[in-house]
Amino acid sequence: MSTFNNYNYNKLVEFIKIHQEDFYRLAYSHVHNRESALDIVQDSIYKGLTSVHKLKNIDKLKTWMFSIIVNTSISYLRKNKRLIITNDFPESIERENIDIADRIDLYHAIEKLDVKYRTIIVLRYFEDMKIEEVADITGLNINTVKSRLYNGIDKLKVILDK
Give the right CATH number for 3-161 from 1.20.58.220, 3.40.1170.20, 1.20.140.160, 1.10.274.10: 1.20.140.160
pTM of the predicted structure, to 2 decimals: 0.70
**So what's the pLDDT on residue 56?**
86
3-state SS assignment for residue 120: helix
Output the CA angle 59-61-62, nearest 5 degrees.
105
Cβ contacts of residue 14 below 8 Å, gap of 6+?
Answer: none
pLDDT, tens digit, 9 for 90 and up, residues 57-76? 888 899 999 999 999 998 89
Residues 36-54 have a mean pLDDT of: 94
SS3 percent helix, strand, coil of the chain, rounded to 5, is: 80, 0, 20
Which element (helix H / strand E) includes 23?
helix 3-31
CA distance 142 to 149: 10
Kindly list the domain boundaries of the chain, sorted by start residue.
Answer: 3-161
